[in-house]
Structure 1
Amino acid sequence: MSKIDAYLHAATRANTRQSYQAAVRHFEVEWGGFLPATADSIARYLADHADTLATNTLKQRLAALAQWHIDQGFPDPTKAPVVKKVFRGIRAVHPAQEKQAKPLQLDDLERIANWLDGAIRTARLAGSRGTELRHRRDKAILLLGFWRGFRGDELIRLQADHVNAVPGEGMTCYFPQTKGDRRYAGTTFKAPALARLCPVEAVVDWMQAARITTGPLFRAIDRWGHVGDAALHPDSLVPLLRAVLANAGITSAELYSAHSLRRGFANWATSNGWDIKTLMQYIGWKNVQTAVRYVDSADPFAKHRIVQTTSASLPLPRE
């Protein structure tokens, strides 16, 4: 690989490359399409999968196919009028309702942390190093993910080298690139040390117990208590979190995901007086629309607003 190829490769995030490769493989191998593709073949591909794939998935497939043609120096067939019209028709016939993860409430977070503390003590007394380490890691993931509002992929990508924790004060987490950082300027996030449910204490305890000083912060652990060298696989994070929630007695654990930590913090912050601008700066959101999607209204059905309005406007009953 030449230096130019290496830099071109580095300009695209790893998970984006993987998803694009999977999309191109699905078109070419599983569906039987030919590359370079024609606009008609792209339109047929969309129509054949309109009943089985979400519109967001189809949109991602189009982006991947467009990028393949651009990279190979071919005209982009996804911009043809027939493709755009077919996609509009699919969205009209198959409207998609956005699904959101259930936000994790603060009292549930405390309940889970207390359960993990008990499980850590039990595992230590039983001499089960692997179980103890898993519980310490899971506690660090939950508390850091909640109080920093990190996405799942950010937790997975976080490197121990880029974590600077000062017990009793706070912690900084540096990312060479985040989702909104198109200039690769790097972003540093700060997390406070808290009197209870402290993310700093949980992360420090995990790093010391696992003897991690460099490389991925959150890793897999085998049954013998050996900590792996690689980061947790992205697909393992949601099952891990749901298992912890279920074991801690949280009902409907299957409704939660890694985004539940982010949504839970956003709702906690707004209910405690944070304005949207402050929340956006803390989380790292670039636009208001993104922030609003994560925040549940205190009056989701507008009941209180309607009751107050009607009470003031309706005439008093006659005696």
Structure 2
Amino acid sequence: MHSIDTYINAATRENTRRSYRSAIEHFEVEWGGFLPATADSIARYLADYAANLAVNTLRQRLAAISQWHIEQGFPDPTKSPMVKKVIKGIQSVHPPQITQAKPLALGHLEQIDEWLDGQIVNALSRGDQPALLRARRDRAIVLLGFWRGFRSDELSRLEVQHIVLTPGQGMTLFLPHTKTLHQGTTFKAPALNRLCPLQAYEAWRDAAKLTNGPVFQGINRWGQLSGRTINPTSYIPLLRGLFEAAGVADAALYSSHSLRRGFATWASTSGWDLKTLMDYVGWKDMRSAMRYIEGADPFAHHRINAELATHAAHNKTLEVLL
């Protein structure tokens, strides 16, 4: 029985299990609901929080309640017509405002890397090992996260023993599972003449004396590594603090997704076709890919003006010919 439980637990990511536990606790403790639940109680629960919680949050709560009933062998009340109508009505009355993290531009990546280089030089001159470790770690996070298009979830699951370096060419990174896939996936990142993720990773690994385990770990004030991976949610304050210290304007508008969106935007404006970009990042759904791409001309200002100029020139040519 123990082996069965092990495989069942492995089928669900820890982050998902944690969020489901939190959702069940919210329903039972904070709202005062009872499990197993009725369709009527779930509908009232949704209505009570409709104005305060995002529709996606409510859907996540429904998924957790649904999963609880299925696992316990009870009928699933979240699939009732009443609950479906309530959630549809909430979405109509309280339409979600789609917000996206600001993509990190290549110029800002260069600015951050230059600032981190200065931090490394200063730490070496002072013999400040904790500051040196943080600067080398943060540089590896930013460069690898950008050029590989990694989410914070993927950065948090990188392990040293699953990374192979090929000097002068690139690095191979194996993840036992990703956000959407449970089978192992291999990613590749290039060695570059500048802003190189391979060199940044290697410098961090050697400075921290890492031989196995999580790549990106917490560091205390004495320069000791935590031995535990940085939690995915901790990347947002880490990166915002880093960007602000490096002088990037509006640092609060960035998140861990800014690295992924920044790379996707850079690749798109550099001429990568959508299929090549999707294959590189690992997107299976075209709509998912398009949400990350921020064009260099978001208002179509340059494109439309250029087409108008071409049209005017064409008409002038016709007038001359006539």
**Aligned residues of 1:221 and 1:228 also touching (Cα < 8 A):** yes
Q: Match for residue 192 of structure 1?
A: 190
SS at match of 1:17: helix
Q: CA offsets, 1:255-281, max 9 Å, x none?
A: 000000000000110111100000000
Partner of 1:116: 116
Q: Deviations over 1:279-302 (max 9, x none)?
A: 000000001111111112333223
Could you state the TM-score of these two structures normalised by the residue count of structure 2?
A: 0.94
Matched residues in 1 for 2:263 and 2:251: separation?
Answer: 18
Q: 1:233 to 1:298 in 2, by over 3 A?
A: closer
> 1:118, 1:83 → 2: CA distance?
57
Distance 2:215 2:20 in 1: 27
Please say if residues 180 and 286 of structure 1, whose CA atoms lie closer than 8 Å, have aligned partners that are also in contact: no
The Cα shift of 1:125 comes to 1.5
1:271 paired residue number:
269
The within-5 A match list for 1:1-319 is: 2-181=2-181, 184-308=182-306, 312=311
- Report if the CA contact (8 A) 1:167-1:201 is conserved: no
Structure 1: any 5+ residue segments left out of the alignment? none
* AA aligned opposite 1:229: G
Stretch of structure 1 that moved more, 172-181 or 148-157: 172-181
Matched position secondary structure for 2:173: strand
CA deviations on 1:161-215 (whole Å, 9 max, x unpaired) are: 111113322101101111221xx32110001100000000000000000011111
8 Å Cα contact 2:265/2:296 also seen in 1: no
Seen in structure 2, the aligned counterparts of structure 1 residues 85 and 212 have a Cα distance that, compared at 3 Å, is same
Distance 1:230 1:43 in 2: 41
The one-letter amino acid paired with 1:10 is A
| SS of structure 2 residue aligned to 1:220 | strand
Runs of 4+, deviation exceeding 4 Å? 308-311, 313-316
- Cα drift, residue 308 of structure 1: 5.0
| 2:269–2:295 Cα contact (<8 Å) kept | no
Q: Distance in 2 between matches of 1:261 and 1:255?
A: 12
**Structure 2 residue identity aligned to 1:16:** T
Normalising by the residue count of structure 1, what TM-score does the alignment of the two structures yield?
0.95
- Distance in 2 (alpha carbons) for counterparts of 1:299 and 1:140: 30
CA contact (8 A) 1:112 1:248 kept: yes
Judged with a 3 Å threshold, the aligned counterparts in structure 2 of structure 1 residues 250 and 308 are, in CA distance, closer, same or farther, namely closer
Q: Which runs of 5+ in 2 are unaligned?
A: 317-322
Corresponding residue SS for 1:279:
helix
- How many residue pairs align between the two structures? 314
Show CA shifts across 1:128-152 (max 9, x none). Answer: 1111101110000000000000001
Q: Give the aligned residue type for 1:15.
A: N
**RMSD of aligned residue pairs (Cα, Å):** 1.6
CA distance in 2, matches of 1:306, 1:271: 16
